[in-house]
């Protein structure tokens, strides 16, 4: 199975190379760096690194607290890899030049060998769900500690992986540990072949996210400059098939709240033209973020076609909806709005954080909507009833406070199982420093 996996990668490599080369022609920076996927580098980088892989934007956001911790406390430099250009842009926005960045190498023996020779990693951390057999085998052969952190596994993914259980048992044999978000994730990892002794439950690192004071300051300035006097309903991280639902809901809400403005933040800003066309088809006036102009009283939709401004946009709103949950994507980070004291709604498809989402609902810290009618009714309730808004925000905050601490528990497990060399003045298990 292992050699079949490798052969398949080599078979598909020519098609992958053509696809990435053509895609990179539209983005000069990406095009200049596409060879990094093959383990070729145009410059020298730091060696003996702590390597953290975060596939794209969402994983980078979740990993940021962990990146900060190791940057501040480790004797080794930090390398962050991503699989996507938006992921790299988010690393750049959050970390600047504090960490090294390259694109994740393809999971092929010769590519991984070049990567390992170039960076000589001392510790490898993979965010959330990715399983790479060649990478895992390489770490085992070189006795490099490897952890999957903030790990989660949906029932759908687990069902598919169970068919490969015999293969995955061997893949998992050499890793140091998997630090999962919930007991449910722990059970699923055991079901697909991971030794129970290698599993630790930490909670979700996203609850340890720190919102800088500058975010609220930037939000206040944005609202003053772009949305003066407007009541704002924001929908974050939308996917294809969702925008039409929220445009329909907005048109109904507008009748009750004449000053209402809908902010749409697509998960992929490149879809901005498609979304603008949907707005115009519904005879709705739309302003894009890249137009750098304020909304008029007649503006219906403000479309955020940039990367890295979602927090600021959440912070200007009276009510938020976290998308990717009205279509079977699995939902996105429902805790960002809560940490910004904005009530949060989400849809029925929450497999990416199903247990936490249900626990938050049980704590009355969020509202789940199943259709346009639900969206209209619940947004109207939040906008018209200050006590409802305040209760949601308060309950959400209490839930976060009661469930955070995953960062400290994650660092403690890593330190205990592999003895990561860090600044001798720092005790990794002292979570008061986190």
Give me the pLDDT at residue 354, please: 87
Of 329, 322, 361, 373, the closest CA to residue 345 belongs to: 322
**Under a CB-based contact definition with an 8 Å cutoff, are residues 109 and 129 in contact?**
no
| Sheet arrangement for strand 260-266 | 286-288, 301-303, 260-266, 231-238, 319-322, 344-346, 367-368
Give me the pLDDT at residue 419, please: 58
β-strands 301-303, 319-322: how paired?
unpaired
* Phi, psi dihedral angles at 102 (to 5 degrees): -140, 170
Of 206, 225, 257, the closest CA to residue 400 belongs to: 206
Whole-angstrom Cα distance, residue 286 to residue 274?
12
Strand partners, 200: 179
H/E element, 124: strand 123-127
309 noted as active-site residue: no
| Sheet arrangement for strand 100-103 | 100-103, 78-82, 50-53, 123-127, 146-151, 177-180, 199-201
**pLDDT of 151 over the 90 cut:** yes
Give me the pLDDT at residue 22, please: 76
Q: List % helix, strand, coil for the chain (3-state, nearest 5).
A: 55, 15, 35
Q: What are the domain boundaries of the chain?
A: 2-203+405-433, 213-403
**pLDDT of 182 over the 80 cut:** yes
**Under a CB-based contact definition with an 8 Å cutoff, are residues 109 and 132 in contact?**
no
Other CB atoms within 10 Å distance of the CB of residue 361 = 15
**Under a CB-based contact definition with an 8 Å cutoff, are residues 319 and 379 in contact?**
yes
Contacts with 115 (C-beta within 8 Å, 6 or more apart), sequence order: 39, 105
Compute the average pLDDT of residues 47-57.
Answer: 94
DSSP assignment of 403-414: H--HHHHHHHHH
Tokens 């999957």 belong to 148
Whole-angstrom Cα distance, residue 399 to residue 90?
27
Give me the pLDDT at residue 434, please: 42
Highest mean pLDDT among 11-20, 220-229, 424-433: 220-229
Confidence of residue 29 (pLDDT cuts 50, 70, 90): low
Summarize pLDDT for 394-428 with one digit per residue, the tens. 999 999 999 999 999 999 999 988 754 444 333 44
Whole-angstrom Cα distance, residue 23 to residue 380?
43
**Under a CB-based contact definition with an 8 Å cutoff, are residues 243 and 275 in contact?**
yes
**Under a CB-based contact definition with an 8 Å cutoff, are residues 421 and 75 in contact?**
yes
Where do the DSSP E strands lie in 212-273? 231-238, 260-266
Whole-angstrom Cα distance, residue 79 to residue 99?
6
Domain covering 213-403, topology: Rossmann fold (3.40.50)
The pTM of this model reads 0.88
Summarize pLDDT for 194-210 with one digit per residue, the tens. 999 999 999 999 999 88
Confidence of residue 432 (pLDDT cuts 50, 70, 90): very low
| Helical residues (DSSP H) of 25-56, grouped into ranges | 28-33
- Common-topology check for domains 2-203+405-433 and 213-403: yes
Mean pLDDT for the chain overall: 91
| Interior angle at CA 182, CA 181 and CA 186, nearest 5 | 100
Give me the pLDDT at residue 85, please: 86
Summarize pLDDT for 310-327 with one digit per residue, the tens. 999 999 999 999 999 999
Residue 132 CA, distance from chain mean position = 19
**Under a CB-based contact definition with an 8 Å cutoff, are residues 342 and 393 in contact?**
yes
Catalytic residue among 59, 243, 336, 412: 59
Other CB atoms within 10 Å distance of the CB of residue 424 = 7
Of 87, 65, 61, 89, the closest CA to residue 78 belongs to: 65
**pLDDT of 284 over the 70 cut:** yes
Q: Which CATH architecture has domain 2-203+405-433?
A: 3-Layer(aba) Sandwich (3.40)
């Amino acid at each position: 199975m292992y050699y079949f996996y490798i052969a398949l990668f080599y078979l598909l490599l020519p098609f992958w190379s053509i696809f990435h080369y053509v895609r990179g022609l539209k983005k000069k920076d990406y095009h200049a760096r596409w060879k990094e996927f093959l383990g070729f580098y145009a410059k020298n980088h730091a060696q003996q690194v702590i390597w953290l892989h975060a596939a794209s934007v969402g994983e980078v956001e979740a990993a940021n607290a962990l990146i900060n911790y190791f940057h501040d406390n480790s004797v080794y430099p930090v390398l962050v890899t991503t699989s996507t250009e938006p992921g790299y842009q988010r690393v750049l926005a959050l970390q600047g030049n504090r960490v090294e960045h390259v694109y994740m190498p393809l999971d092929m023996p010769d590519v991984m060998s070049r990567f390992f020779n170039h960076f000589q990693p001392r510790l490898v951390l993979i965010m959330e769900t990715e399983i790479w057999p060649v990478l895992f085998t390489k770490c085992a052969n070189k006795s490099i500690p490897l952890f999957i952190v903030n790990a989660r596994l949906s029932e759908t993914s687990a069902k598919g992986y169970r068919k490969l259980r015999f293969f995955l048992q061997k893949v998992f044999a050499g890793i140091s540990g998997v630090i999962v978000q919930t007991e449910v994730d722990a059970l699923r990892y055991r079901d697909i072949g991971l030794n129970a002794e290698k599993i630790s439950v930490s909670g979700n690192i996203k609850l340890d996210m720190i919102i800088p004071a500058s975010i609220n300051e930037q939000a206040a300035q944005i609202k003053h400059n772009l949305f003066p006097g407007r009541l704002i309903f924001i929908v974050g991280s939308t996917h294809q098939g969702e925008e039409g639902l929220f445009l329909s809901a907005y048109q109904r809400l507008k009748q009750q709240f004449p000053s209402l403005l809908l902010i749409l933040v697509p998960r992929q800003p490149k879809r901005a033209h498609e979304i603008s066309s949907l707005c115009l088809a519904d005879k709705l006036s739309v302003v894009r973020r890249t137009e750098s102009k304020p909304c008029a009283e007649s503006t219906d939709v403000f479309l955020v076609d940039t990367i890295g401004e979602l927090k600021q946009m959440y912070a200007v709103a009276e009510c938020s909806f976290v998308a990717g949950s009205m279509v079977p994507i699995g939902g996105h980070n429902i805790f960002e709005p809560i940490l910004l004291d904005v009530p949060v709604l989400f849809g029925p498809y929450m497999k990416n954080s199903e247990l936490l989402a249900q626990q938050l609902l049980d704590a009355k810290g969020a509202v789940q909507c199943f259709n346009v009618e639900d969206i209209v009714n619940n947004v109207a309730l939040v906008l018209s009833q200050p006590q409802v808004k305040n209760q949601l925000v308060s309950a959400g905050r209490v839930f976060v406070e009661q469930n955070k601490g995953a960062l400290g528990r994650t660092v403690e497990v890593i330190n205990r199982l592999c003895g990561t060399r860090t600044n001798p003045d720092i005790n990794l298990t002292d979570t008061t420093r986190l």
